[in-house]
Structure 1
Amino acid sequence: MKLLILIFIGIVLFLIAKSYKTEKFANIKLDIKEKFEGDLMQHEAGLLVALMAKVAKADGQVCELEAQLLKHTLDDISRHFENQDEIREKLKKIYDDEKKSFDNTIQICKNLYTLTRHNYQKRVKIMEYLLNLAFIDKEFSNTELMITEDIANTLEIKRADFERLINAFEMFYKQQKENAALSLEKAYEILEASKDDDVNILKKKYRNLVKKHHPDIIAGQGASQNIIDEATAKLQEINEAYELIKKHKGI
């Protein structure tokens, strides 16, 4: 099964101030595409998608990033089959069906273990992929922990490797949260404002700073080009800070 080996090599971090995502595999050139017409629940691709459904079901809701991850996964997997449109539809049906119940989770894991029993690193990558999905909404619930623990145990993932992966995701999102907090604090500082200021005060401070630093006004005062360039950069900084604060406050 070369397909999943390629797919799991592609798990990468992507910070678009969103989180992880799968890499697109358009750059991977396969000499031969697989022609598969059997039961995808007996294929690594189908079993992966089925486990994705179980993890997605754990928190009871599908956020935008989960939906994006699913879309990329279905696209990436199906692209490596000759009958890719048919495969994608079947994988989507597997996802929809398997999301209805946890009852057969262990059996799915056992089937996947049978196909990957001689490739421990592949199973670790599968686990990383599923934890990626669990963490993608920046929360890791007790239910998600329990379902991923069950999967890890059945796939015979070493506890140390399972905990290492969880710690890596937790550190990633903790750092992301801290960076966002620091950015917001800096935005208020640039706007010479306080987080307790109401909307009208924020708008007033923003407008005053724009008038003070607008390059056209500075140019009209006979300033040198260096001063005008500094004012242009400052105005951009003010605009970016104001937009961040507006987004944070839902203005």
Structure 2
Amino acid sequence: MFWGKVLGAVAGFLFARIPGAIIGVLIGHWFDRGVAQDFSQRGAFGRYLFGTDRAVGDASFIYTLFAVLGHLAKAKGRVTEQDIAHASALMDRFYLQNDARREAQSAFREGKQPTFPLEQTLCDFKAAFYGNIEVLELFIEQLIRMALVDGKLDKTEYQVLLAAAKALGFNKFQLDQALMMQKAGFRFRRSQQQRYQQKSQHNDLDDAYQILGAHASDSDAEIKKTYRKLMSRHHPDKLAGQGVPEKVMKEAQQRTQEIQAAYETIKKHRGMR
């Protein structure tokens, strides 16, 4: 941390020239130490990520995600073993260990409380990422995956998703579109696994179209345009530039793999090159 020293030196110089600048640096030094200590004492997320330019954003993303996931899991009345397993698996994929993992678990528990301020938390989150649409879409996708972990969507879960979507700047149509795409992705992944085991009799084509948000009546050119737009939106390099934590990138990569597989299914059916 060094901004305290810089500001102290400038302010001191304006008031008392060189002697004032020296005093300002000393005062700024103690200020910087206090800020750094305060940040490190905010928990494992801060310590885990402190020292990087994106530390605050990373901590904000992970804390908010697990808190809202906890709130969503509790919405249907009881947090199930599937909910807990899904959250735990997500922590594994984010490589959260020791204190960082315990704080993610604490955030999840905090979100389960009836007094959890969902809208305000998400408004603050949106502001922290300057409303970057790619970050917010990735966040909503994670919420939807939690809601669909048991293969169905409860009405109370949908209400939480809708409230979260509106707080982040999305409307009901956009949420429903994202839900349709995620449901299709869920069926598509399951079918691909079963097909690998030679047990699937499901036609993947309809789901492939839904994963892309496309229609069978679309032209080949329209399909390609939709595919490229989705791939660009979920490209790791673009998300990194928008401030998505590096440890969250694998989730985006899984999504691009799903989009790619769906596109290949459509291409094969249509004979596209």
In the superposition, the TM-score normalised over structure 2's length comes to 0.46
Q: Which has the larger radius of gyration?
A: 1
TM-score normalised by length of structure 1: 0.49
Q: Which structure carries more helix by proportion?
A: 2
